[in-house]
């Protein structure tokens, strides 16, 4: 009997793989390690020259005038909210489907996240729903490039300009993507990136904000350094001990150790993205005629970064829930995941919605019940990809209605 028709591992059968394949992971090689080792032998481990070098290379990559590096992606989002002056009772529109940090950064500054629905084809922020959520208290729109697919920034820009709003790109998924022949990183007023290990490139933890606004960049540099106007290296170069804290900031500084890893990783970004797209193409071909799943849409005017590869289960073709499919695939040693539960369904964020409303964002809620993220990362082998496809078919065939 073939594996495709064999007993599921969760039912006592033999798993497709002997070891767990994660949904994402970093790819760090000897050149990365050597670069880090060189910084470890240097005089500067933090607030040193490699930080500004990393920022400069990022401006060249994205076409933005300014880039400000941070300790992690969440710190970058928080700094963006500080830079635009979010205050108590300011409303910021965010997509219902995103990681919690997209909304948390608003709350850190006393603002209110307002959840807008997503488009059913891509799960990207729906501009029609955005406009319906705008009030006299709205200050900005955060568009999140879900899975690595850039949002419809031209339409969102028209809406933002019409209402006098700031447009922010949560581009933590989309480094390496293009929108209408423009590189992600210069599509919004502020563009936010993450360098977590599962992202396109990694610094361990780390983040960046790009912008063409010099004043906002200066504010963010102060914000990441306790609200102090200069850092240790600047004082060393000036031969001065004097510093001034001009506002309440945080220690969101990134280290030279992280930044040199980032510099080394940036050189590999084209090959990383190329491999992600190749894996996605294999999934697309394998799943094209599978009635039990559908893949998310990709607009013709974008180049997708494929941070995630997300499928939707077609429940009318299956006799079990998404949870049972998830558990069965994990038992086959395929590390599927779910990205994400609608923000307002988290206990903390329920305070920002009307408790009497049955469905705040119906498209997001329906999607959450069916989405699965399949493994995708640059070091996946073709055999790994085959295992994912084989396991998915095995589980879906077993549970077919």
**Of the listed 133, 139, 199, 267, which one is catalytic?**
199
- DSSP for 267-313, please give it: TTHHHHHHHHHHHHHHHHHHHTT-TTEEEPP--TTEE---S-EEEEE
Question: Do 330 and 336 meet the contact criterion of CB atoms below 8 Å apart?
Answer: yes
Report in angstroms the alpha-carbon separations of 190 from 187, 358, 379: 8, 34, 31
Strands 178-179 and 302-303, bridge-based pairing? antiparallel
Other CB atoms closer than 10 Å to residue 16's CB: what's the count?
A: 26
Asked whether 297 and 122 are in contact (CB, 8 A), the reply is: yes
CB within 8 A of 216, min separation 6: which ones?
A: 66, 83, 84, 189, 190
CA 265 – CA 82 distance, rounded (Å): 29
Task: Establish whether 5 is a catalytic residue.
Answer: no
Give the whole-angstrom CA distance, residue 196 versus residue 170. 14
Phi first, then psi: what are they for 252, rounded to 5°? Answer: -110, 25
Q: What are the start-end ranges of the E strands in 186-282?
A: 190-194, 207-211
Strands (E), 239-383: 293-295, 302-303, 309-313, 371-374
Spatial contact of 280 and 304, defined as CB atoms under 8 Å apart: yes
**Phi then psi dihedrals of residue 33, to 5 deg:** -65, -40
Question: Pairing between strand 293-295 and 309-313?
Answer: antiparallel
- The three-class DSSP label of residue 309 is strand
Q: Which of these, 157, 146, 91, lies nearest to 122 by C-alpha position?
A: 146
Catalytic positions = 199
């Amino acid at each position: 009997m073939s594996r495709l028709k064999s007993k599921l591992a969760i039912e006592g059968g033999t798993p497709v793989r002997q070891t767990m394949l994660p949904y994402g992971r970093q790819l760090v090689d000897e050149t990365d390690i050597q670069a880090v080792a060189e910084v470890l032998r240097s005089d500067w481990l933090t607030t040193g020259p490699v930080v500004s070098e990393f920022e400069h290379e990022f401006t060249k990559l994205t076409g933005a005038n300014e880039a400000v590096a941070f300790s992690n992606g969440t710190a970058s989002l928080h700094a963006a909210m500080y830079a635009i002056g979010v205050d108590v009772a300011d409303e910021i529109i965010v997509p219902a489907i995103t990681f919690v940090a997209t909304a948390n950064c608003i709350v850190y500054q006393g603002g209110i996240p307002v959840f807008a629905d997503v488009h059913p084809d891509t799960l990207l922020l729906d501009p029609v729903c955005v406009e319906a959520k705008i009030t006299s208290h709205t200050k900005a729109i955060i568009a999140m490039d879900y899975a690595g697919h850039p949002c419809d920034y031209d339409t969102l820009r028209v809406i933002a300009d019409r209402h006098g709003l700031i447009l922010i790109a949560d581009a933590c998924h989309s480094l390496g993507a293009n929108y209408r022949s423009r590189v992600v990183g210069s599509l919004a007023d502020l563009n936010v990136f993450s360098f977590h290990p599962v992202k396109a490139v990694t610094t361990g933890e780390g983040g960046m904000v790009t912008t063409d606004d010099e004043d906002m960049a200066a504010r963010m540099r102060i914000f990441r350094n306790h609200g102090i106007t200069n850092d240790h290296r600047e004082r060393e170069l000036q031969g001065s001990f004097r510093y001034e804290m001009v506002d309440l900031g945080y220690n969101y500084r990134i280290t030279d150790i992280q930044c040199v890893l980032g510099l080394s990783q940036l050189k590999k970004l084209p090959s990383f993205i190329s491999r992600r797209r190749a894996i996605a193409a294999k999934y697309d071909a394998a799943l094209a005629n599978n009635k039990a799943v559908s893949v998310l849409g990709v607009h013709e005017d974008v180049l997708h970064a494929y941070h995630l590869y997300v499928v939707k289960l077609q429940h009318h073709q299956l006799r079990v829930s998404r949870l049972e499919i998830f558990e069965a695939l994990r038992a086959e040693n395929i590390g599927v995941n779910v990205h994400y539960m609608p923000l307002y369904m988290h206990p903390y964020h329920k305070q920002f919605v009307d408790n009497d409303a049955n469905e705040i964002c119906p498209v997001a809620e329906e999607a959450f019940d069916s989405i699965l993220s399949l493994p995708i990362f640059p070091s996946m082998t073709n055999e790994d990809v085959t295992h994912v496809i084989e396991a998915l078919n095995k589980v879906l065939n077993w549970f077919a209605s």
